[in-house]
Amino acid sequence: MVHYQSVPGVYREEVFPAPVPGLLTGVPVFLGLASRGAVNRPQRLTLWTQFLSSFGDRPSDRYLFYAVRGFFSNGGNLCYVVRLNEDTAPEDSLAEGLEALATLDAIDLICVPDLMHLSQSPEQVQRMQTAVLEYCQQAGDRFALLDALPNATVTTIQQQQQALSSHPGALNGALYFPWIQVEQSPAGMFVPPCGHIAGVYARRDREVGVYQTPANVLLEDVLDLSISVSDADQALLNPGDRNAGINCLRSLPGRGIRIWGGRTLSQDFNWRYINVRRLFLTVARWIDLTLADAAFETNDFKLWVRIERELTTFCESLFQQGALKGSTTQEAFYVKCDAETNPPEVRAAGNVVTEIGLAPAIPNEFIVVRLIHGNAGVVLG
């Protein structure tokens, strides 16, 4: 609020509306095991000390503690934590924890650091990680950070990646290898890296944007790796001639331990890179948040114009930030919401369909998706 006075006793008052907070990205939820705290009840944390007061100190054989601490030590500033139920079967425990996320709309990353502790075999790990990918696919706005098997070798991590890449939800997940040794962990103990990786995602999103690849970044609070990845291993695990890859953590002379890969698990060329997939997921989240009331409006020309106008404005902001390539907006993106994308059968089903093309890598080379807006929210079609 600003006051102006040009004549004694006469004031002009201008009231500026408070800015609408931007859409937060890089906000993970950690599902894991703790010594205390409510089960299957998401807790919002903005400080590491809040974890200690809510969930207790370091347990000897669980990983949630180290994951959340690694998140904050690597630049994260907001996350959610769900304590899983240890008294049920592992796969049921995970399913219950994922169901508990239904009310959360602030998260966009999923981490399950204690999945390996819950699982009793590599086959069960695969089933549970596949369940996480399936959950992200159905949610339509979340991305999974998956850990390699404990004591994984170059051969076993390839087998793990191949199994996960065959799932339709592979485009919504990334796999990281190997495990890490961190400060305060018992001698010889290595932990999953997903929490530290999530902190890097959060910091990169905040400093640059969701369109920046979370790679070539120094990891804080990491002392050593469970296995040293060589240049030959790197070429094998993250090859340029295949789409799906394994994101390695590498100890580089004079540069510390860094994330050395930015691939999703998808075998689809369009969704090869993490930053591209997360950019589209963020667009879906934005329209779901901004145009939530569209589900109650008449599905006609006026609604289509509104959606196209507001989504075009949002894409223009992405273009100005450098998220899209091209010298003009026409080369960087297009938005289409009209009678063609919304024929009678789509309207009869209660949906609004918007076609959007973004050029995140090369001008005029659009990745095209359909945003399906219905009573359940927005999903990528």
* DSSP result, 157-175: HHHHHHHHHTSGGGGGEEE
- The stretches in the chain having pLDDT less than 70 are 1-22, 60, 241, 243, 295, 375-377, 381
Q: Supply the pLDDT for residue 15.
A: 38
Give Cα 105 to chain centroid, integer Å.
12
Cα distance between residue 69 and residue 193, in whole Å: 11
Instruction: Find out whether 62 and 34 touch, Cβ atoms under 8 Å.
Output: yes
Which residues have CB under 8 Å from 23's CB, separation 6+?
282, 285, 286, 289
Question: Residue 85 is which amino acid?
Answer: N
The residue written with tokens 């790990």 in the block is 125
* Structural domain ending residue among the three candidates 249, 274, 299: 274
Give the DSSP H or E segment for 259.
strand 256-260
Q: What is the pTM of this model?
A: 0.90
Q: Are residues 85 and 181 in the same domain?
A: yes
Helix 154-165 vs helix 122-139: crossing angle, to nearest 10: 40
Instruction: Find out whether 221 and 42 touch, Cβ atoms under 8 Å.
Output: no
Q: Are residues 302 and 257 in the same domain?
A: no
Q: Are residues 40 and 183 in the same domain?
A: yes
Q: Are residues 268 and 303 in the same domain?
A: no
Q: Supply the pLDDT for residue 20.
A: 38
Q: Are residues 315 and 265 in the same domain?
A: no
Q: Are residues 166 and 38 in the same domain?
A: yes
The residue written with tokens 């103990």 in the block is 189
- Residue 349's domain comprises 291-380
Cα distance between residue 100 and residue 79, in whole Å: 15
Which residues have CB under 8 Å from 49's CB, separation 6+?
none
Cα distance between residue 238 and residue 217, in whole Å: 17
Q: Supply the pLDDT for residue 14.
A: 39
Cα distance between residue 321 and residue 186, in whole Å: 44
Q: Is residue 180 part of a domain?
A: yes
Q: Is residue 241 part of a domain?
A: yes
Closest CA to 169 of 194, 143, 198: 143
Q: Is residue 12 part of a domain?
A: no
Which residues have CB under 8 Å from 224's CB, separation 6+?
180, 181, 251, 257
Sort 298 into a burial class: Cβ within 10 Å, 0-12 / 13-18 / 19+. Answer: exposed
> What total number of domains does the chain contain?
2
CATH code for the domain of 102 = 3.40.50.11780
Q: Are residues 231 and 365 in the same domain?
A: no
Q: Supply the pLDDT for residue 4.
A: 38
Q: Is residue 203 part of a domain?
A: yes
- Respond yes or no on whether the N-terminal peptide bond of residue 178 is cis (omega within 30° of 0): yes
Which pair of tokens denotes residue 373? 């807006």
Q: Supply the pLDDT for residue 57.
A: 86
Q: Is residue 161 part of a domain?
A: yes
Q: Is residue 321 part of a domain?
A: yes
Q: Are residues 247 and 360 in the same domain?
A: no
Q: Supply the pLDDT for residue 323.
A: 93
* Structural domain ending residue among the three candidates 217, 239, 274: 274
Q: Are residues 129 and 232 in the same domain?
A: yes
* Structural domain ending residue among the three candidates 211, 241, 274: 274
Q: Is residue 80 part of a domain?
A: yes
Q: Are residues 195 and 307 in the same domain?
A: no
Report the Cα–Cα distance between both ends of the chain, in Å, rounded.
Answer: 44
Q: Supply the pLDDT for residue 30.
A: 98
Q: Are residues 298 and 330 in the same domain?
A: yes
Instruction: Find out whether 380 and 369 touch, Cβ atoms under 8 Å.
Output: yes
Q: Supply the pLDDT for residue 211.
A: 93
Q: Supply the pLDDT for residue 241.
A: 67
What count of Cα atoms within 13 Å lies in the side-chain half-sphere of residue 83?
16
Q: Is residue 58 part of a domain?
A: yes
Q: Are residues 217 and 116 in the same domain?
A: yes
